[in-house]
Protein backbone atom coordinates (compact mmCIF):
# COMPACT_ATOMS: atom_id res chain seq x y z
CA UNK A 1 0.00 0.00 0.00
CA UNK A 2 1.23 3.56 -0.67
CA UNK A 3 3.18 4.91 2.29
CA UNK A 4 3.25 1.57 4.08
CA UNK A 5 6.62 0.65 5.52
CA UNK A 6 8.18 -2.55 4.26
CA UNK A 7 9.91 -5.02 6.55
CA UNK A 8 13.20 -6.00 4.93
CA UNK A 9 13.57 -9.71 5.51
CA UNK A 10 17.36 -9.58 5.29
CA UNK A 11 17.62 -7.21 8.26
CA UNK A 12 19.60 -8.84 11.13
CA UNK A 13 17.09 -7.52 13.69
CA UNK A 14 14.30 -9.46 12.00
CA UNK A 15 15.99 -12.84 12.02
CA UNK A 16 14.40 -13.63 15.36
CA UNK A 17 11.27 -12.68 17.26
CA UNK A 18 12.07 -10.00 19.83
CA UNK A 19 10.53 -10.42 23.30
CA UNK A 20 10.92 -7.72 25.96
CA UNK A 21 10.18 -7.87 29.69
CA UNK A 22 10.88 -5.62 32.69
CA UNK A 23 11.79 -7.31 35.99
CA UNK A 24 12.37 -5.59 39.32
CA UNK A 25 11.98 -6.59 42.94
CA UNK A 26 10.91 -10.19 43.48
CA UNK A 27 10.00 -10.92 39.84
CA UNK A 28 13.01 -13.11 38.96
CA UNK A 29 11.27 -16.50 39.15
CA UNK A 30 8.10 -15.26 37.46
CA UNK A 31 10.12 -13.83 34.57
CA UNK A 32 12.10 -17.04 34.11
CA UNK A 33 8.90 -19.13 33.99
CA UNK A 34 7.50 -16.75 31.36
CA UNK A 35 10.68 -17.09 29.27
CA UNK A 36 10.56 -20.86 29.74
CA UNK A 37 7.01 -21.02 28.37
CA UNK A 38 8.12 -18.94 25.37
CA UNK A 39 11.05 -21.25 24.58
CA UNK A 40 9.07 -24.46 25.12
CA UNK A 41 6.62 -23.78 22.32
CA UNK A 42 8.19 -21.26 19.90
CA UNK A 43 9.24 -22.29 16.41
CA UNK A 44 11.47 -19.42 15.29
CA UNK A 45 14.50 -18.19 17.20
CA UNK A 46 13.87 -15.72 20.03
CA UNK A 47 15.78 -12.62 21.13
CA UNK A 48 15.11 -11.79 24.79
CA UNK A 49 15.45 -8.18 25.94
CA UNK A 50 15.40 -8.27 29.75
CA UNK A 51 15.34 -4.96 31.61
CA UNK A 52 16.29 -5.58 35.23
CA UNK A 53 17.75 -4.02 38.35
CA UNK A 54 21.51 -4.45 38.61
CA UNK A 55 21.20 -7.00 41.42
CA UNK A 56 19.13 -9.32 39.21
CA UNK A 57 21.44 -9.35 36.18
CA UNK A 58 23.86 -12.07 37.43
CA UNK A 59 20.89 -14.18 38.57
CA UNK A 60 19.29 -14.07 35.12
CA UNK A 61 22.60 -14.91 33.43
CA UNK A 62 23.21 -17.83 35.76
CA UNK A 63 19.71 -19.33 35.51
CA UNK A 64 19.45 -19.04 31.72
CA UNK A 65 22.83 -20.78 31.30
CA UNK A 66 21.54 -23.71 33.37
CA UNK A 67 18.90 -24.55 30.74
CA UNK A 68 19.78 -27.52 28.50
CA UNK A 69 21.57 -26.75 25.24
CA UNK A 70 18.64 -28.04 23.18
CA UNK A 71 16.76 -24.97 24.45
CA UNK A 72 19.53 -22.37 24.89
CA UNK A 73 20.27 -22.64 21.17
CA UNK A 74 16.72 -21.41 20.50
CA UNK A 75 17.33 -17.93 21.93
CA UNK A 76 19.80 -15.19 22.66
CA UNK A 77 19.42 -12.86 25.63
CA UNK A 78 20.37 -9.26 26.34
CA UNK A 79 20.07 -7.78 29.82
CA UNK A 80 19.79 -4.01 30.25
CA UNK A 81 19.76 -1.66 33.26
CA UNK A 82 16.63 0.31 34.09
CA UNK A 83 16.86 3.73 32.40
CA UNK A 84 14.46 6.55 31.57
CA UNK A 85 15.48 9.02 28.87
CA UNK A 86 13.18 11.90 29.83
CA UNK A 87 11.68 13.25 33.04
CA UNK A 88 12.38 12.20 36.62
CA UNK A 89 13.75 8.65 36.83
CA UNK A 90 12.50 8.12 40.40
CA UNK A 91 8.99 9.19 39.44
CA UNK A 92 8.96 6.78 36.50
CA UNK A 93 10.38 3.95 38.60
CA UNK A 94 7.65 4.27 41.23
CA UNK A 95 4.79 4.62 38.76
CA UNK A 96 2.46 1.67 39.49
CA UNK A 97 4.52 -1.58 39.71
CA UNK A 98 8.30 -1.23 40.23
CA UNK A 99 10.00 -0.23 36.96
CA UNK A 100 6.95 -1.09 34.81
CA UNK A 101 7.12 2.33 33.12
CA UNK A 102 10.33 1.14 31.44
CA UNK A 103 8.17 -0.37 28.69
CA UNK A 104 7.24 3.15 27.55
CA UNK A 105 10.89 3.77 26.64
CA UNK A 106 11.53 0.63 24.57
CA UNK A 107 11.27 2.49 21.20
CA UNK A 108 13.92 4.93 22.43
CA UNK A 109 16.34 2.36 23.88
CA UNK A 110 16.11 -0.45 21.32
CA UNK A 111 16.94 1.71 18.31
CA UNK A 112 18.10 -1.22 16.15
CA UNK A 113 15.01 -3.36 16.75
CA UNK A 114 12.21 -3.05 14.21
CA UNK A 115 9.40 -4.85 16.06
CA UNK A 116 8.97 -6.60 19.40
CA UNK A 117 6.48 -8.19 21.74
CA UNK A 118 6.42 -6.74 25.26
CA UNK A 119 4.90 -8.83 28.06
CA UNK A 120 4.53 -8.46 31.82
CA UNK A 121 6.45 -10.91 34.00
CA UNK A 122 3.21 -12.70 34.99
CA UNK A 123 2.45 -13.93 31.47
CA UNK A 124 2.56 -17.56 30.25
CA UNK A 125 2.61 -18.62 26.61
CA UNK A 126 0.34 -21.59 25.88
CA UNK A 127 1.07 -21.59 22.13
CA UNK A 128 3.97 -20.43 19.92
CA UNK A 129 4.83 -16.73 19.97
CA UNK A 130 5.08 -17.13 16.19
CA UNK A 131 1.27 -17.09 15.96
CA UNK A 132 0.99 -13.65 17.58
CA UNK A 133 4.08 -12.36 15.75
CA UNK A 134 2.19 -12.83 12.47
CA UNK A 135 -0.22 -10.08 13.58
CA UNK A 136 2.48 -7.58 12.61
CA UNK A 137 1.78 -8.52 8.99
CA UNK A 138 -1.91 -7.65 9.51
CA UNK A 139 -1.20 -4.03 10.53
CA UNK A 140 -2.58 -1.48 8.08
CA UNK A 141 -0.55 1.57 7.06
CA UNK A 142 -1.27 3.55 10.27
CA UNK A 143 -1.19 0.84 12.96
CA UNK A 144 1.97 0.60 15.05
CA UNK A 145 0.95 -1.35 18.17
CA UNK A 146 -1.48 -4.08 19.17
CA UNK A 147 -3.16 -4.87 22.50
CA UNK A 148 -6.22 -6.70 23.81
CA UNK A 149 -9.25 -4.98 25.39
CA UNK A 150 -9.12 -4.43 29.14
CA UNK A 151 -12.59 -5.92 29.25
CA UNK A 152 -15.11 -7.37 26.84
CA UNK A 153 -18.15 -6.03 28.72
CA UNK A 154 -18.07 -2.25 29.33
CA UNK A 155 -20.78 -2.52 32.00
CA UNK A 156 -18.36 -4.42 34.28
CA UNK A 157 -15.09 -2.96 32.94
CA UNK A 158 -12.81 -0.80 35.09
CA UNK A 159 -12.15 2.04 32.63
CA UNK A 160 -15.76 2.39 31.55
CA UNK A 161 -16.89 2.71 35.19
CA UNK A 162 -14.08 4.44 37.07
CA UNK A 163 -11.50 6.12 34.79
CA UNK A 164 -10.98 9.86 35.28
CA UNK A 165 -8.90 10.26 32.12
CA UNK A 166 -9.39 9.50 28.39
CA UNK A 167 -9.05 5.84 27.38
CA UNK A 168 -9.19 3.81 24.19
CA UNK A 169 -12.56 2.61 22.85
CA UNK A 170 -15.45 1.64 25.13
CA UNK A 171 -13.52 -0.32 27.77
CA UNK A 172 -9.82 0.58 27.40
CA UNK A 173 -6.94 -1.75 26.53
CA UNK A 174 -4.62 -3.86 28.69
CA UNK A 175 -0.89 -3.40 28.13
CA UNK A 176 0.33 -6.65 29.72
CA UNK A 177 0.78 -8.09 26.21
CA UNK A 178 1.76 -5.45 23.67
CA UNK A 179 3.03 -6.00 20.13
CA UNK A 180 4.96 -2.99 18.79
CA UNK A 181 6.39 -1.86 15.49
CA UNK A 182 9.15 0.29 16.99
CA UNK A 183 10.20 1.70 13.61
CA UNK A 184 6.76 3.21 13.08
CA UNK A 185 6.53 4.44 16.68
CA UNK A 186 9.85 6.29 16.30
CA UNK A 187 8.79 7.98 13.04
CA UNK A 188 5.23 9.01 14.00
CA UNK A 189 4.04 12.35 15.34
CA UNK A 190 1.22 11.68 17.78
CA UNK A 191 -1.88 13.78 18.28
CA UNK A 192 -2.35 14.84 21.90
CA UNK A 193 -4.12 17.33 24.15
CA UNK A 194 -1.05 19.57 24.58
CA UNK A 195 0.59 20.51 21.25
CA UNK A 196 -1.63 20.94 18.14
CA UNK A 197 1.15 19.96 15.73
CA UNK A 198 1.81 16.59 17.30
CA UNK A 199 4.75 15.18 19.25
CA UNK A 200 7.18 12.33 18.82
CA UNK A 201 6.82 9.38 21.21
CA UNK A 202 9.74 10.50 23.40
CA UNK A 203 8.66 14.16 23.44
CA UNK A 204 5.16 13.19 24.51
CA UNK A 205 5.80 10.87 27.47
CA UNK A 206 6.77 13.19 30.31
CA UNK A 207 4.39 16.10 29.53
CA UNK A 208 1.57 13.56 29.24
CA UNK A 209 2.48 12.07 32.61
CA UNK A 210 2.67 15.54 34.19
CA UNK A 211 -0.77 16.46 32.85
CA UNK A 212 -2.57 13.30 33.97
CA UNK A 213 -0.55 12.00 36.95
CA UNK A 214 -3.25 12.95 39.48
CA UNK A 215 -5.89 11.02 37.54
CA UNK A 216 -4.17 7.74 36.62
CA UNK A 217 -4.48 4.53 38.64
CA UNK A 218 -2.74 1.89 36.53
CA UNK A 219 0.40 3.85 35.71
CA UNK A 220 1.93 3.33 32.28
CA UNK A 221 -1.11 1.38 31.07
CA UNK A 222 -3.24 4.47 31.66
CA UNK A 223 -0.76 6.60 29.71
CA UNK A 224 -0.96 4.16 26.78
CA UNK A 225 -4.75 4.35 26.90
CA UNK A 226 -4.56 8.15 26.79
CA UNK A 227 -2.15 8.03 23.82
CA UNK A 228 -4.39 5.71 21.82
CA UNK A 229 -7.53 7.65 22.75
CA UNK A 230 -6.05 10.55 20.78
CA UNK A 231 -4.57 8.22 18.10
CA UNK A 232 -7.04 5.33 17.67
CA UNK A 233 -5.95 4.74 14.08
CA UNK A 234 -2.53 3.66 15.39
CA UNK A 235 -3.82 0.67 17.37
CA UNK A 236 -4.65 -2.87 16.27
CA UNK A 237 -6.85 -4.69 18.79
CA UNK A 238 -6.37 -8.44 19.06
CA UNK A 239 -8.85 -10.75 20.85
CA UNK A 240 -8.95 -11.56 24.55
CA UNK A 241 -7.52 -15.10 24.30
CA UNK A 242 -4.13 -13.43 23.68
CA UNK A 243 -4.26 -11.72 27.08
CA UNK A 244 -6.49 -13.90 29.25
CA UNK A 245 -6.78 -12.66 32.83
CA UNK A 246 -8.75 -13.69 35.94
CA UNK A 247 -11.31 -11.01 35.02
CA UNK A 248 -12.31 -13.17 32.05
CA UNK A 249 -13.65 -15.98 34.23
CA UNK A 250 -13.87 -14.96 37.91
CA UNK A 251 -17.25 -13.27 37.33
CA UNK A 252 -18.35 -15.87 34.81
CA UNK A 253 -16.85 -16.64 31.41
CA UNK A 254 -16.74 -13.51 29.21
CA UNK A 255 -14.01 -14.14 26.62
CA UNK A 256 -15.69 -15.74 23.63
CA UNK A 257 -12.41 -16.21 21.75
CA UNK A 258 -11.02 -18.36 24.58
CA UNK A 259 -14.23 -20.37 24.73
CA UNK A 260 -13.90 -21.14 21.02
CA UNK A 261 -10.13 -21.54 20.64
CA UNK A 262 -8.74 -21.88 24.15
CA UNK A 263 -6.36 -19.49 25.96
CA UNK A 264 -3.31 -18.53 23.90
CA UNK A 265 -1.55 -16.30 26.45
CA UNK A 266 -2.37 -16.48 30.16
CA UNK A 267 -1.90 -13.28 32.17
CA UNK A 268 -1.88 -13.99 35.90
CA UNK A 269 -2.27 -10.46 37.20
CA UNK A 270 -3.61 -9.77 40.72
CA UNK A 271 -0.79 -12.04 42.00
CA UNK A 272 -2.86 -15.16 41.31
CA UNK A 273 0.16 -17.42 40.71
CA UNK A 274 1.17 -16.95 44.33
CA UNK A 275 -2.06 -17.22 46.33
CA UNK A 276 -5.08 -19.52 46.35
CA UNK A 277 -7.72 -17.14 44.99
CA UNK A 278 -7.58 -18.48 41.39
CA UNK A 279 -6.21 -22.06 41.54
CA UNK A 280 -6.59 -22.63 37.78
CA UNK A 281 -4.02 -19.91 37.07
CA UNK A 282 -1.75 -21.14 39.85
CA UNK A 283 -1.96 -24.72 38.51
CA UNK A 284 -0.71 -23.68 35.06
CA UNK A 285 2.11 -21.63 36.55
CA UNK A 286 3.29 -24.43 38.84
CA UNK A 287 3.13 -27.13 36.15
CA UNK A 288 5.24 -25.08 33.71
CA UNK A 289 7.62 -24.09 36.54
CA UNK A 290 8.13 -27.72 37.58
CA UNK A 291 8.35 -29.23 34.08
CA UNK A 292 11.80 -30.78 33.47
CA UNK A 293 12.88 -29.30 30.12
CA UNK A 294 13.59 -32.50 28.23
CA UNK A 295 10.78 -34.66 29.59
CA UNK A 296 7.75 -35.75 27.59
CA UNK A 297 5.33 -32.82 27.41
CA UNK A 298 2.20 -34.94 27.79
CA UNK A 299 3.46 -37.08 30.66
CA UNK A 300 5.20 -34.34 32.65
CA UNK A 301 3.12 -31.27 31.81
CA UNK A 302 -0.32 -31.94 30.34
CA UNK A 303 -1.40 -34.90 32.49
CA UNK A 304 -0.28 -33.25 35.78
CA UNK A 305 -2.18 -30.15 34.67
CA UNK A 306 -5.37 -32.15 34.08
CA UNK A 307 -4.99 -33.69 37.52
CA UNK A 308 -4.49 -30.29 39.22
CA UNK A 309 -7.55 -28.90 37.45
CA UNK A 310 -9.76 -31.51 39.16
CA UNK A 311 -9.11 -29.61 42.40
CA UNK A 312 -10.31 -26.29 40.95
CA UNK A 313 -13.87 -27.17 39.89
CA UNK A 314 -15.30 -25.34 42.92
CA UNK A 315 -14.26 -22.00 41.33
CA UNK A 316 -15.87 -20.19 38.38
CA UNK A 317 -12.61 -20.36 36.41
CA UNK A 318 -12.19 -24.04 37.28
CA UNK A 319 -15.60 -24.89 35.83
CA UNK A 320 -14.34 -24.22 32.30
CA UNK A 321 -11.15 -26.35 32.10
CA UNK A 322 -11.48 -26.71 28.33
CA UNK A 323 -10.84 -22.96 27.98
CA UNK A 324 -7.45 -23.38 29.66
CA UNK A 325 -6.52 -26.76 28.16
CA UNK A 326 -7.70 -26.62 24.55
CA UNK A 327 -4.90 -24.50 23.09
CA UNK A 328 -2.03 -25.94 25.13
CA UNK A 329 -3.05 -29.49 24.15
CA UNK A 330 -3.11 -28.47 20.48
CA UNK A 331 0.29 -26.79 20.87
CA UNK A 332 1.88 -29.83 22.52
CA UNK A 333 0.61 -32.13 19.77
CA UNK A 334 2.38 -29.92 17.21
CA UNK A 335 5.57 -29.88 19.28
CA UNK A 336 5.39 -33.67 19.59
CA UNK A 337 4.95 -34.05 15.84
CA UNK A 338 7.87 -31.73 15.13
CA UNK A 339 10.26 -33.30 17.61
CA UNK A 340 9.32 -36.97 17.51
CA UNK A 341 7.59 -37.84 14.26
CA UNK A 342 9.76 -35.61 12.05
CA UNK A 343 12.90 -36.80 13.88
CA UNK A 344 11.98 -40.47 13.45
CA UNK A 345 11.10 -39.89 9.81
CA UNK A 346 14.47 -38.25 9.15
CA UNK A 347 16.30 -41.16 10.81
CA UNK A 348 14.21 -43.68 8.92
CA UNK A 349 15.25 -42.21 5.57
CA UNK A 350 18.87 -42.83 6.37
Q: In whole numbers, what is the pLDDT of the chain averaged over residues?
A: 88
pLDDT at 10: 37
Nearest-angstrom CA–CA distance, 8 and 301: 38
User: What is the pLDDT at residue 344?
Assistant: 55
Do residues 278 and 160 both lie within one domain?
no
For residue 21, being part of any structural domain is answered with yes
Range with the poorest average pLDDT among 123-132, 193-202, 245-254: 193-202
User: Counting Cβ atoms within 10 Å, is residue 208 exposed (0-12), middle (13-18) or buried (19+)?
Assistant: buried
The answer to whether residue 12 is domain-embedded is no
Instruction: Answer with the one of 238, 271, 288 that is the final residue of a domain.
Output: 238
Banded pLDDT at 4 (limits 50, 70, 90)? very low
Tell me the C-alpha distance between 294 and 340, whole Å.
Answer: 12
Residues 252 and 223 in one domain: no
Is residue 89's pLDDT more than 70? no
Q: What CATH number has the domain bearing residue 180?
A: 3.90.550.10
C-alpha 167 chain-centroid distance: 20
Specify if 217 maps to a domain: yes
Mark which of 238, 262, 292 sits at the end of a domain: 238
Please indicate, yes or no, if residue 214 is contained in any of the structural domains.
yes
| Total number of domains in the chain | 2
Residues of the chain with pLDDT > 70, as a percent, come to 88
pLDDT band, residue 151 (cuts 50/70/90): confident
| Domain identity same for 167 and 154 | yes
Which has more confidence, 90 or 321?
321
d(CA 82, CA 89): 9
> Quick check: 154 and 163 in contact, CB under 8 A?
no
pLDDT > 90 in the chain, percent: 65
Distance, in Å, from the CA atom of 215 to the CA atom of 271, rounded to the nearest integer, reads: 24
Q: Which of 238, 269, 291 is the last residue of a domain?
A: 238
Residue 108 covered by a domain: yes
**In this predicted structure, what is the pLDDT of residue 350?**
41
Same domain, 226 and 252: no
Distance CA 295, CA 330 (A): 18
Q: Which residue blocks in the chain are alpha helix, DSSP H?
A: 28-41, 57-65, 69-72, 89-93, 106-109, 129-133, 158-162, 182-187, 201-212, 220-230, 256-261, 279-290, 297, 303-309, 321-336, 342-349
Q: Per-residue pLDDT averaged across 330-338, rounded?
A: 85
Contact 185, 107 (CB under 8 A): yes
200 burial via Cβ count (<10 Å: 0-12, 13-18, 19+): middle
Together in a domain, 84 and 122: yes
- Residue 43 in any domain: the answer is yes
For residue 23, what pLDDT is reported? 93
**Could you read off the pLDDT of 23-82 as tens digits, one per residue?**
988 999 999 999 999 999 999 999 999 999 999 999 999 999 999 999 999 999 999 998
pLDDT > 90? residue 187: yes
Label residue 15 by pLDDT band (50, 70, 90): confident
Backbone phi and psi for residue 176, each to the nearest 5 degrees, phi listed first: -65, -20
Report yes or no: 172 and 163 within 8 Å, Cβ to Cβ: yes
**What's the pLDDT score for residue 304?**
94
Whether residue 174 lies inside any domain: the answer is: yes
Global pTM reads: 0.90
User: What is the rounded distance in angstroms from the CA atom of residue 125 to the CA atom of residue 146?
Assistant: 17
In a shared domain, residues 230 and 254? no
Lowest mean pLDDT among 139-143, 212-216, 226-230, 341-345: 341-345
Q: Is there a single domain that holds both residue 207 and residue 104?
A: yes
285 and 193 both lie in a single domain: no
Residues 258 and 214 in one domain: no
Q: Where does the pLDDT of residue 343 fall: very low under 50, low under 70, confident under 90, or very high at 90 and above?
A: low
Q: Is the same domain home to 260 and 133?
A: no
251 has pLDDT over 80: yes
Which structural domain, as residue segments, surrounds residue 288?
243-345
223 pLDDT above the threshold of 50: yes
Amino acid sequence: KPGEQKHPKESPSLQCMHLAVVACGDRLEETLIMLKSAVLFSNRRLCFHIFAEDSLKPEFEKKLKEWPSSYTKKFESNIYPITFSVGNAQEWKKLFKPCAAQRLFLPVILKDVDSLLYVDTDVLFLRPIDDLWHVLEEFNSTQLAAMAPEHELPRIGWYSRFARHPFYGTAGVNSGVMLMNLTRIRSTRFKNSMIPGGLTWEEMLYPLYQKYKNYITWGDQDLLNIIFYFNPECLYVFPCQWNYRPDHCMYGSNCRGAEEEGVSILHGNRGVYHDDKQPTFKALYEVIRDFPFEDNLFQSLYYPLQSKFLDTVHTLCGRIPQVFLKQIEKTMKKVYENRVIVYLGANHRY
